[in-house]
Chain A
């Protein structure tokens, strides 16, 4: 167990490598009830959110979700979010646990004309992720999952409990996130475990350590590592989330438009370690001319069997690169992100 943004969270239940592999090959369960859930509701909700975040929530059809960001006026990232349009006049904004208070405060300030409420304490969030997720969840839900697209969601029941079920996740695998009443979370979890038992398949619980290596293999950024107030979406390779083409002003528009025009000052790259030493958060990236960047996340990749890392390097820096691993320059090769793409593996 570990202290995580004010919550006591399991880093691992057993072997984090086994948990990771279960998600890639079968399925696993995650308790993500620490994540922040903020509801933005009312007739003015869509317009208010368009001003508050850099994406275009009003363009979402009800039942659809979008990955977006909350930026500061200078374009720096305050949090990365998933926004679900649950109804015409109701949006659910899912924030990182450590940033929930900041996101809540900013949304309350920015969303004049809408009701902004923190539902974190009242909400349980259980994720089932992996190729077997749809099959197992379909046993205990009334929702037709084969009709549910990626980044879509619907109201239904899971294990008899009312829930918002969405085909989203943070693992690079097919899977679902189930938002339910906090008091129902155990029943939802147990219903999925029972479904797996009846099917004779394994559905282990997975902790934060596996969640981190899964998202890293999938090339997904983590707030505090790849994203932060000193980073714009463009540097993170996520310029597509900034909708400069949407009508009206939004917080950060001017700064982001200027950044889009001038090009990024640094670039997020993927590195594959060519030794057994693992590049980790904060280690320097070296080129032949010296230090050119810093590792933001690094881990041994259970799927690839090699160390992998994401790093920021100065715009224009050229390889070959190495990483300063505790005083030794270890070779690393630049690779396209993501490290793992399930559509290419299967």
Chain B
């Protein structure tokens, strides 16, 4: 099970990659493996406003359906339309071709991109999955 060191993570088993003012979001390898084969991903609409910690979509696998949470506040700028035809990308490449959506994070009062509080480092996330068994 891989946990790339350069990414941020959430307790909801999502990963966040920050590039300038844009956050790319997907679910972790651990999440994909726990869910089993992903068969459908419902993503937020491009242009939609999302709020950190709030559900913004759903992930359906063979055995279950789970909420997809936005890890950040902002506006959705892009969603991974490939997942519509090939939701299995989430299992095959959770950190690559299986990415889910991108969010523009509004600049903070000083013009800097403010990371939402509560994101986990790779080491912290790894610890979380270990304690979850």
Contacts and interface: CB of A to CB of B under 8 A. Distances in A.
A15 interface: yes
A11 B63 contact: yes
A326 B65 contact: yes
A16 B40 CA distance: 15
Given A278-B65, A280-B65, A11 B60 contact: no
Given A11-B63, A15-B91, 5 more contacts: A15-B36, A17-B62, A209-B36, A209-B63, A276-B40
Interface of B: 36-37, 39-40, 58, 60, 62-63, 65, 91
B37 A277 contact: no
A23 to B, nearest CB: 14
A17 B62 CA distance: 8
Contact of A16 (B37, B58, B60, B65): B37
Contact of B39 (A209, A300, A326): A300
Give the bracket for the number of chain A residues in contact with chain B. Answer: 10 to 19
A120 interface: no
12 contacts: A11-B36, A11-B63, A16-B37, A16-B63, A276-B40, A278-B39, A278-B40, A278-B65, A300-B39, A300-B40, A300-B60, A326-B65
Contact of B37 (A17, A212, A278, A326): A17
Contacts of B40: 276-278, 300
Contact of B60 (A15, A213, A277): A277
Contacts of B91: 15
A299 interface: yes
A16 B39 contact: no
A12 interface: yes
Contact of A209 (B58, B62, B65): B62
Interface of A: 11-12, 15-17, 209, 212-213, 276-278, 280, 299-300, 326
A299 B62 contact: yes
A328 to B, nearest CB: 10
A15 B65 contact: no
A220 to B, nearest CB: 17
Which interface residue of A213, A278, A326 has the most chain B CB atoms within 10 A? A278
B65 A300 contact: no
| Closest 10 A/B residue pairs (Cβ) | A300-B39, A17-B37, A276-B40, A16-B62, A16-B36, A15-B37, A278-B60, A209-B63, A209-B62, A16-B37
A213 B36 CA distance: 13
A12 B39 contact: no
B39 to A, nearest CB: 4
Nearest to A213: B62
Contacts of A17: 37, 62
A300 to B, nearest CB: 4
A61 B58 CA distance: 53
Contacts of B63: 11, 16, 209, 212, 299
B81 to A, nearest CB: 14
Contacts of A12: 36
Nearest to A20: B62
A11 B64 CA distance: 13
Q: Which of B37, B40, B62 has the most CB of A within 10 A?
A: B62
A12 B64 CA distance: 14
Nearest to A280: B65
A49 to B, nearest CB: 36
Contacts of B62: 16-17, 209, 213, 299-300
Contacts of A326: 58, 65
B45 to A, nearest CB: 15
A326 B65 CA distance: 10
Nearest to B67: A326
